[in-house]
Amino acid sequence: MSRQATVRVIDRRWLLVVEMNAGVCWLEIRVQLVPAAAAASSISLDTEEKAYMEAKHIVTHLPEDNTNEMAAKPEGQSAKTAHVNMMTDTIITNLPAANLRVIMRSLLAAHPDVTTTFEAETRTYVRDAALLSAQGELSSEATLRKTQATIRCMLGCGLSLESIPLMTRVVRGGIKLLVDPETTKEKTHAVLASVDGDIVQIMTAVEKRLLAAARESLLDDERDAVTNLHESLLECRAIIEEKAMEYPYTRALFATSMLLGVSLPVLDMPLIGTSGLSASLAGPVDARETFEMNGFKLPRLFTGLWQMSSPSWGSAPTSKIIAQFSKHMEVGLTAFDMADHYGDAEIIFGRFRSAYPFSDSTFAATKYCVFNPMIVTRAAVQANVAERCRRLQTDKIDLLQFHWQFYEDPQYVEALRFLEEDSRVKALGLCNFDTEHMQVAIDKGVRLHSNQFSLIDSRPEVRMGKVCQEHDIKLLTYGTLCGGFLAEKWLGKGQPDLYDEAITPSQRKYYAMIRSWGGWDLFQDLLKVLKSIASRHSVSLSNVATRWVLDFPYVGAVIVGTRMGISERADENLASLGWSLSQEDRDLIEEVLKRSRRSEMFDAMGDCGGEGPKDEDSVWSGTPSIAGRDGHVKGIRGKILEK
């Protein structure tokens, strides 16, 4: 077989060989036994790429003087060859980075077994290459962002503890930029708000690591790393206070304090809403529509804090988050939904409530989620309750919702009994339980007050609704607005560009659901009907979608996800309350739903709750109540599309 090779110089010490085999196209990158002088045209490879290629033994150093015709190998190692199909490599080379990211997401979703290899390769790249270039001076916003990107990669591939020293440098470098008179303060504050959120993610990951290792405390080296970061945060706060500027790392300081078990900082921000301090001091008003649960009078809209679990939804300064909490309280939206894995949602809300003058008016619904096999004991359950209380800074939990991953393991009944017997739990609820297993708990004598899950079409009318009404269990539903697709901004628009960076993680998943439910054209028909109904009631399209759910008699409240401190829609959301759809309205909606694949979805997904989260990495708030849902449970999408 004939072979043609092109040798190109990367620099004096590196060679890259591109080889074409006749009949089959391969890109072959390997150590080549040629003198550097024989190389042809030059190309460039940055420091990270060279370090990574050397670490993977794809290319090796040439002698300094270039006199030896043999490429030198690291001692004890043999040269290795990596093959990539040339046409595939052409795709990788020419795809825009944003598009390549979307394709990678699709690849990993379709072939989850590849994830382990992907993460392992990322760890190798970070340790052997990216960390080398991250040691430079953080003298500009650009260098800070590049280092931040490396930290996020480390967090994503399981190097959370290893990222802490690098994050400590970012914290200090960020403050230097903030106090520099030459920098744009607003822009720098936005960058540091995202750093603040990243530290929260790191601390959350470290806590999960402790849980996975069945450890209650940090090892010495772990504590040293977190302590150094914590002390840097305190030193930076002193610098900012001296300059009379707003401190950008409040959430991070709370998170590190909580992990180290030291005193939490004082929340020294005015708790004001949009109407000013006097309105907040007057206390919250009653919501336009309420329901009763275990002696609590609650609004029929809960504010969901899922978006605080990840910087993918954006990050905001703590002052803006606190102001938005206050605004919600001011207008009667006093109930907030969170979980043990929603970043620092419990911590920030608990800090807000402890400083709020009308704390008795607040209602915190959090979760105890079991995503991995465990041996249920009273001590283990009580430890989780204690952790929820510690993070919420309270001695009682208003509503604790229990999620159990493995129905084949009946220990969930024992766990529910232990929770019911814990005096710190005021009300016990479920999260993503189907009717069958909810009924098992009821039959065992467990008193339940709620079940949180994503309402899909009218499926609860089959069994769930009846059981809930018989036992006075309220449904708390999420995903009502289809990740934002059930909104007027999408009416009359073409299919969303999933390659657009503005598309959120939830929307990427929801779009797959819409395709399986009936496609974008049918979804547009639904939006048109909702818009016509909205016009008659002088509300928004999203209000109609929310109202459709609220009109089910067994629904207590709809959980509306909120990007705290980033977008404010409290007043718009309130327009969903205080009225009902007419029978004519419901008939118009039903005419569209009958044309969808909802029956196939029912056959594939069964009763209720099966569409819920399957592990801590795939938890996400959302399934639309009108449009339906698919794809999150492995195999469901395929069943629907085959019909």
Number of other residues whose CB lies within 10 A of the CB of residue 145: 14
- Across 127-131, 223-227, 467-471, least confident range: 127-131
In a domain, 404, yes or no: yes
Average the pLDDT over 191-218 and give the result: 87
The answer to whether 239 and 179 are in contact (CB under 8 A) is yes
**Residue-wise pLDDT tens digits, 57-73:** 544 443 344 333 333 33
Q: Distance (Å, rounded) from C-alpha 385 to C-alpha 449?
A: 17
pLDDT for 50 equals: 55
Q: CA 413 → CA 164, 445, 447, distances in Å?
A: 39, 10, 11
CA distances from 293 to 189, 335, 344, 449, 613 (A): 42, 12, 26, 7, 25
Q: Are 75 and 54 in contact (CB under 8 A)?
A: no
In this structure, are residues 419 and 428 in contact, taking their beta carbons and an 8 Å threshold?
A: yes
Provide the pLDDT confidence category of residue 3 given band limits of 50, 70 and 90.
very low
Is-contact 10 44, C-beta < 8 A?
Answer: yes
Question: For the ranges 48-52, 356-360, 480-484, 593-597, which has the lowest average pLDDT?
Answer: 48-52
Same domain for 299 and 198 = no
In a domain, 283, yes or no: no
514-528 pLDDT per residue, tens: 888 889 999 999 999
Q: What is the pLDDT of residues 445-494, one digit of tens each?
A: 999 999 987 765 566 777 888 999 999 999 999 888 888 899 999 999 99
User: How deeply is 558 buried, as exposed, middle or buried, from its count of CB atoms within 10 A (0-12, 13-18, 19+)?
Assistant: buried
Looking at residue 51, its pLDDT comes to 56
Q: Is the pLDDT of residue 508 over 50?
A: yes
Local confidence band at 417 (pLDDT 50, 70, 90 cut-offs): very high
Q: What pLDDT is stored for residue 287 in this prediction?
A: 87
Q: Work out the pLDDT band at 2, boundaries 50, 70, 90.
A: very low
* CA–CA distance, 85 with 546 (Å, rounded to integer): 50
pLDDT at 225 over 90: yes
Tokens of 387: 């952790």
Domain count, the chain: 3
Indicate whether 217 and 305 sit together in one domain: no
- Structure confidence at residue 376 as a pLDDT band (50, 70, 90): very high
**pLDDT value of position 210:** 83
Per-residue pLDDT, averaged over 38-64, amounts to: 47
| pTM to 2 decimal places | 0.74
Beta-sheet pairing, 26-29 with 450-453: unpaired
With respect to residue 496, please indicate whether it lies within any of the assigned structural domains: yes
Clarify whether residues 440 and 576 are in a common domain: yes
Between 639 and 398, residue with greater pLDDT: 398
| pLDDT at 5 exceeding the cut of 70 | no
Which of 375, 378, 372, 420 lies closest to 400 in space, CA to CA?
420
Is residue 112, in this structure, part of any structural domain at all? no
pLDDT mean over 9-15: 43
Q: How far is CA 355 from CA 8, 465, 627, in A?
A: 65, 39, 40
Task: Check whether residue 161 and residue 82 sit in a common domain.
Answer: no
Q: How confident is the model at residue 311 (pLDDT cuts 50, 70, 90)?
A: low
Report the 10 Å Cβ neighbour count for 513: 28
Instruction: Answer yes or no: do 295 and 189 share one domain.
Output: no
Task: Give me the pLDDT at residue 140, please.
Answer: 86
* Alpha helices, H only, 463-517: 464-470, 505-517
Confidence at residue 565, expressed as pLDDT on a 0 to 100 scale: 67
Looking at the fold, whether 314 and 357 belong to one and the same domain comes out as yes
Compute the mean pLDDT over every residue in the chain, rounded to the nearest whole number: 79
Q: What is the pLDDT averaged over residues 131-142?
A: 76
Of 271, 267, 268, 287, nearest to 279 (Cα)? 271
Report the DSSP pairing between strands 399-404 and 450-453: unpaired
Helix (H) or strand (E) holding 198: helix 185-212
Residue where a domain terminates, one of 94, 125, 148: 94
120 found inside a domain = no
Which amino acid appears at position 431 of this protein? C
Give yes or no for residue 229 having a pLDDT over 90.
yes
Of the candidate ranges 164-178, 397-411, 586-600, the one whose mean pLDDT is the lowest: 586-600
Which residues have a Cβ under 8 Å from the Cβ of 269 and sit 6 or more positions away? 318, 319, 322, 323
**Rounded CA gap, 152 and 149, in Å?**
5
Kindly state whether residues 79 and 188 are assigned to the same domain.
no
Does residue 474 sit in the same domain as residue 621? Answer: yes
What's at 469, amino acid-wise? Answer: Q
Structure tokens given for 102: 């979307």
8-state DSSP, 40: B
Neighbours of 578 (CB within 10 A): 11
8 A C-beta contact, residue 385 and residue 400 = yes
Q: Which of 218, 240, 260 is the last residue of a domain?
A: 260
Please give the structure tokens belonging to residue 416: 């529910």
Alpha-helical regions (H) of 95-159? 97-110, 114-125, 131-133, 141-156
Distances (CA, A) of 127 to 46, 143, 204, 455: 16, 18, 22, 44
pLDDT attached to residue 611: 46
Domain membership of residue 192 as a residue range: 134-260
Q: How many residues in total does the chain contain?
A: 643
Together in a domain, 310 and 232: no
Distances (CA, A) of 557 to 299, 331, 550, 619, 635: 7, 16, 7, 20, 30
% of residues, the chain, pLDDT over 70: 74
User: Which residues fall within 8 angstroms of residue 235, CB to CB, at 6 or more apart?
Assistant: 172
Residue 14 pLDDT class (50, 70, 90 cuts): very low
Q: pLDDT band for position 607 (50/70/90)?
A: low
Are residues 172 and 64 part of one domain?
Answer: no
Q: Is residue 278 part of a domain?
A: no
Domain contains 113:
no
Contact 9, 42 (CB under 8 A): yes
Question: Same domain for 210 and 87?
Answer: no
Looking at the structure, do residues 244 and 368 belong to the same domain, yes or no? Answer: no
8 Å CB contact between 628 and 601? yes
Tell me the mean pLDDT in the region 141-162: 92
CATH number at residue 344: 3.20.20.100
pLDDT exceeds cutoff 80 at 585: yes
At which of 94, 121, 151 does a domain end? 94
Per mean pLDDT, which range of 207-216, 233-242, 532-541 is the poorest? 207-216
Q: What's the pLDDT score for residue 299?
A: 97
Task: Identify whether 275 is part of a domain.
Answer: no
